Structure 1
Amino acid sequence: MVVQVKGKVKALTDMSKYPSDEWIVFQYVDGLVVTGGGTFDGQGASAWSLNQCPKKAHCKLLPTSLKFNFITNGEIRGIHSVDSKLFHMLLFRCKNLNVQSIKISAPADSPNTDGIHIGSSSNITISRAHIGTGDDCISLGPGSTQVTVKNVFCGPGHGISVGSLAKFPKEEDVQGLHVENCTISDTTNGLRIKTWAGSDSSSASNFTYEDIVMNNVANPIIVDQQYCPYSSCPQMGPSRVKMNDLSFKNIRGTSASKIAVNLLCSEAFPCQNVKLDDIKLEYNGQGEASSASCTNVKGVSTGIQIPPTCI
């Protein structure tokens, strides 16, 4: 099945017209291709003020612009998505899906407008994309396996993220992420892994980040196993997400935060086999050097280390 999108498709602004939290859905298709050079305009500015999710754990979700559920052997290429009300694109239970040559944009202050969110999907490739939003450019949720991200420009936004993980009981593991040849600019995070404290045990493993350029990025490399996006969160004990085999190689550029490498791992399950290889992240604050912080981390460092390594 080939869907050609020409011109601009505009979402309705009357929220009463949405019976569920989605605008356009493709599902249960083998061999789907969505292409054509057209634009999906979510007209999100009409709804962003209604979004309470950044402040409340229990909130009503606004519509995601494009949902791809249970798609196998598919391709999404040459389309644009602008100003989604919530996520621009969500991939759920997909297998063997290529996303390439797309552009996604929303203002930096637009809430929860993630570019591409992946959940419970395998063998996903995202390449040659330009993504700038008010949230994560790309995010991986529970159950994501064998995901490749390459030749992507990210910014503004919250960077390229895994998580948040362990928010709900019995989440699936995340395994096999490869991010390469990407540029991240003017974002609040760079390469981020975030897990909630407490909850059930799960694992996040085999992540490789290499040949990444950072331009004025806060928190260029960050693992946060005490993630809490609200003003306060209940004390649930240490995170039970077990992280291992995390590799960061040839990560270079400028940091907007003094701490350029921040690895805050779980007290109960320290991060295992973390590798820092040729890291050169200089703080762009005048006259000060960047620094690194490591908590509950086991690993090695090789090559250039700016800031001085904490492993």
Structure 2
Amino acid sequence: MFAGPCSSPKPITVEVIGTVKANTDPSEYVSPEWFTFQDIDGLVLTGRGVFDGEGPVMWPLNDCRQIKTDCAPLPSSLKFYKVNNSVVTGITSLNSMQFHFHVHGCSNVSLSKLNITAPGNSPNTDGIHISSSDMIKVFSSVIGTGDDCISIGHSTTNLTVYNITCGPGHGISIGSLGKRPEERTVNGVTVTNCTFVNTTNGARIKTWIGTVAAEVKNVTYEDIIMKNVQNPVVIDQSYGSRLSRAPSTSVWKISDIHFRKIKGTTVSNIAVSLQCSTLNPCEGVEVADIDLGYAGRLNTTFISSCSNAKPIFGGILNPPPC
């Protein structure tokens, strides 16, 4: 752990040179992270070094999808907790045991020029998970992993993401949200100039049914390129339900959402899927200038699907509006 507060002059620079390899004995980890940076103002984490999480060795030892009892998550590679006014740049994360980067309780942090790599079937290897943080920027990075390239958790505000290449992975997702009662509103997310390649999802918002009401609002996905993406545009308020596409009674409210200037190809015949809550129908969902080509099975109808959404359509629309 690198723990502050630090009395030395700012910036506090940590330069990574060479390859840092994780210990492959799970019993050696006493915390849910491999490296933690905590209570630091003015951190600069830089260098051309590599954090190698030794995932291919570790994933089979503790795969919670297979082990039904006594399963504890493997540690994330790098966590930033209460880190403010800081920069993370140039780092490579390879084969993380769980998350590659976890940003929690932070403010005014930029992450750029990152190279994040793990196989598409690696479990829970989110590239960058952000939660309970404000004014975070993620840009100019290449992320290919086994879960969300970027996952945006509860209580995140004023997040900016741009110039990201994502794939393989599950896209850039807000959520999942609402599984735990302490989770709060996500407000102010902008994702622009990103490319998704062979991902399972593209621009996605996902909530559980939930027990405590909260919101997702003021979100924009714009100038996005999709290349053979399975589900390019998704709102899913039945996340975690055993019944696929079941009617949602989520207590989460989704509003002021903008999907604009999204083009490319998809292998799904449902390219735009907006499945909102029956209790809290989505409001102010804009779908404009969507130009997607269908690269799936022949003789299949190419559609949009909407439930409790009432989207505002405009510009080019391919697939046709629902």
For the aligned pair, the TM-score class normalised by the smaller chain equals over 0.9
Q: Greater CA deviation, 74-83 or 283-292?
A: 283-292
Q: Aligned pair in 2 of structure 1 residues 38, 216: CA closer, same or farther (>3 Å)?
A: same
Shift of 1:283: 1.3
Is the CA contact 1:280–1:307 (under 8 Å) kept in the aligned structure 2?
yes
- Counterpart CA distance in 2 for 1:218 and 1:57 is 33
Q: Any idea what SS the aligned residue of 2:201 has? A: coil
Q: What are the residue-to-residue correspondences of 1:31-110 with 2, within 5 Å?
A: 31-54=42-65, 59-110=71-122
Q: Aligned pair in 2 of structure 1 residues 279, 58: CA closer, same or farther (>3 Å)?
A: farther
Structure 2 unaligned regions, length at least 5: 1-11
Is the CA contact 1:197–1:236 (under 8 Å) kept in the aligned structure 2?
no
Residue identity (%): 49
CA displacement, residues 244-277 of structure 1 (integer Å, 9 cap, x when unaligned): 0000110001111110000000000000000011
Match of 1:224 in 2: 236
Shift of 1:54: 3.9
- Counterpart CA distance in 2 for 1:290 and 1:270 is 24
CA displacement, residues 201-256 of structure 1 (integer Å, 9 cap, x when unaligned): 00000000100000000110011000017x679x9971011000000110001111
- Counterpart CA distance in 2 for 1:26 and 1:198 is 31
- Counterpart CA distance in 1 for 2:78 and 2:186 is 23
Instruction: Say if 2:156 is the partner of 1:179.
Output: no
1:279 to 258, 271, 290: 290
Match of 1:131 in 2: 143
Match of 1:241 in 2: 252
Shift of 1:57: 11
Shift of 1:122: 0.5
Aligned residues: 308
The residue type equivalent to 1:182 in the other structure is C
- Counterpart CA distance in 1 for 2:275 and 2:166 is 24
Is the CA contact 1:282–1:289 (under 8 Å) kept in the aligned structure 2?
no
Instruction: Say if 2:216 is the partner of 1:209.
Output: no
Is the CA contact 1:162–1:193 (under 8 Å) kept in the aligned structure 2?
yes
Q: Any idea what SS the aligned residue of 1:163 has? A: strand
Q: Any idea what SS the aligned residue of 2:211 has? A: strand
The residue type equivalent to 1:285 in the other structure is G
Q: Any idea what SS the aligned residue of 2:251 has? A: strand
- Counterpart CA distance in 1 for 2:35 and 2:191 is 28
- Counterpart CA distance in 2 for 1:245 and 1:54 is 35
Shift >3 Å, 4+ stretches: 50-59, 286-289
Structure 1 unaligned regions, length at least 5: none
Shift of 1:299: 2.9
Match of 2:3 in 1: none
The residue type equivalent to 1:246 in the other structure is I
- Counterpart CA distance in 2 for 1:271 and 1:58 is 39
Q: Greater CA deviation, 103-112 or 49-58?
A: 49-58
- Counterpart CA distance in 2 for 1:59 and 1:206 is 37
- Counterpart CA distance in 2 for 1:236 and 1:289 is 23
Instruction: Say if 2:305 is the partner of 1:293.
Output: yes
